Structure 1
């Protein structure tokens, strides 16, 4: 059994997340018309001030001590009443299908009780399958589905309440 760790990224680790964003965007280029720049990198532009926003919480993911990805929680919500959103979520291909992503989401939900929205691009079949499988379990079957467009792309949103853990 692998040891999975999720730890809050410090300011000096944001460069690591920016580097991992190249792989994140590369994965998305399978479904979206994203182009490489002239120097062989994707032009990654998180919204201005995204990492400086106090509501944005970046995390690094490690498996058996090895860097395996990143995730961010933010308040960039699209559904009325939602408090938390997963802004970016990337698990390196080598670690996919091993329960890493589900562990990360479960850990985040326990750390941030409240109203959540989690969404995926409809054009991304692996995300569609992953969220359809894990949300019913993690939300205790109590969630609503919504269809919205984000930046012109059709998306599916899950909205649910994550209770405060009992002491």
Structure 2
């Protein structure tokens, strides 16, 4: 089992997060009509305001000390009563299928007790399989499913309650 670590991103990490967004968008270009710009990069707006928002908590993922992806927790919710949302979640292809994403999701849920929503595009089969497989284990089958569009794209939402850790 690899050594997986989740580190809160610091101000110095914002350029790294922006660079990783290119790979995140690349993956999404398989399911959404996203186009490369003339210089070979996806034309995405910098997310500086998002990363610096006090309600946004970005994290870098490391596996055996090597940068492996990123994840963010924010308050951009679509389900009534939800307090937390996974805004972005990216694990580099080399580290997929090794338990990295499950470790990260479990760690985040334990760090932020309260009402959560986690959603994915229905057009993303890897996300659909991943969340359907891990959600029962992460929650003890204590979640609800909701279907609704986000920006016109059908999405599946998981709503769950993460309890305060026992002392």
Pair in the same fold by TM > 0.5: yes
TM-score, with length taken from structure 1: 0.97
TM-score, with length taken from structure 2: 0.97
Matched residue SS, 2:144: strand
Map 1:24-63 → 2, pairs under 5 A: 24-45=24-45, 49-63=49-63
**What is the alpha-carbon root mean square deviation over aligned residues?**
1.1
- Following TM superposition, the consecutive aligned residue runs of length 4 or more in structure 1 with deviations greater than 4 angstroms are none
Residue aligning to 1:157: 157
Residue aligning to 1:96: 96
Matched residue SS, 1:158: strand
Structure 1: state its 5+ residue gaps: none
**What number of residue pairs does the alignment pair up?**
167
Change (3 A) 1:46 1:165: farther
Matched residue SS, 2:49: coil
Residue aligning to 1:17: 17
1:18-55 residue CA offsets vs partner (Å, 9 max, x unmatched): 00111100000011110001111001226672112111
Q: 2:83·2:115 contact (CA, 8 Å) conserved in 1?
A: yes
Map 1:75-94 → 2, pairs under 5 A: 75-94=75-94
Structure 2: state its 5+ residue gaps: none
What is the CA–CA distance in structure 2 between the aligned matches of 1:46 and 1:107, rounded to whole Å? 27
Residue aligning to 2:144: 144
